[in-house]
């Protein structure tokens, strides 16, 4: 599940996207230090983030959140293509320490961090949608949880951001049935 960074496979860097979006939507506004922490946890580039560029990155998550809220594959493809049109990805094979080669987007040297974010995540979402054939992401279905996740399962679609949320919902349903 996408609650943490798995040691095995990383679906095209989308755990980074889920972590970033969750950092932005959970509680207090995400500042430069919080966003640098997300980048460091996922091997992102060492961006020189100021509070202004951090706000720009937070604002740039809006179209990404809209995509993560979609479950219609055609709408998702259109939204991702629109992002790729506005923020073209310059794909490049990159090997991060301790990981296999993977495809990353490389923004021009003078590009703003928000451009890098949108081109990188649009490419990652496009690859994941193409590989899976459906919107393999979503928002946690647990009441009160607003976290997003990347669905890496192969069987039934994932509904919860973590096993903790899934268990909480199942226990509440069990208690509710017992009380009737």
Entry pTM: 0.84
Give 81's pLDDT tier (boundaries 50, 70, 90).
very high
The CA–CA distances, whole Å, from 134 to 1, 64, 89 equal 17, 16, 21
What does the pLDDT read at residue 1?
37
Predicted local distance difference test score (pLDDT) of residue 172: 77
> For 9-68, how does the pLDDT look when each residue is reduced to its tens digit (9 = 90+)?
555 679 999 999 999 998 667 889 999 999 888 877 778 889 999 999 999 999 999 999
Decide if 45 contacts 39 (C-beta within 8 A). Answer: yes
The span from the CA of 147 to the CA of 136, in Å, is: 15
51-68 vs 14-25: helix crossing angle, rounded to 10: 110
């Amino acid at each position: 599940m996408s609650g943490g960074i798995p040691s095995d496979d990383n679906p095209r860097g989308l755990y980074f996207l889920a972590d970033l979006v969750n950092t932005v939507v959970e509680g207090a506004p995400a500042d430069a230090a919080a966003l640098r922490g997300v980048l460091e946890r996922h091997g992102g580039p060492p961006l020189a983030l100021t509070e202004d560029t951090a706000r720009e990155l937070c604002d740039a998550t809006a179209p990404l959140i809209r995509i993560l809220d979609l479950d219609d594959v055609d709408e998702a493809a259109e939204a991702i293509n629109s992002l790729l049109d506005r923020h073209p990805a310059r794909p490049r094979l990159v090997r991060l320490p301790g990981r296999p080669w993977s495809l990353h987007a490389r923004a021009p040297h003078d590009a703003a961090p928000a451009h890098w974010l949108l081109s990188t995540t649009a490419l990652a979402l496009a690859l994941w949608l193409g590989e899976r054939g459906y919107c393999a992401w979503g928002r946690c279905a647990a009441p009160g949880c607003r976290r997003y996740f990347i669905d890496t399962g192969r069987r039934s679609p994932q509904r919860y951001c973590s096993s903790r949320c899934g268990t909480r919902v199942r226990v509440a349903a069990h208690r509710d049935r017992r009380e009737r």
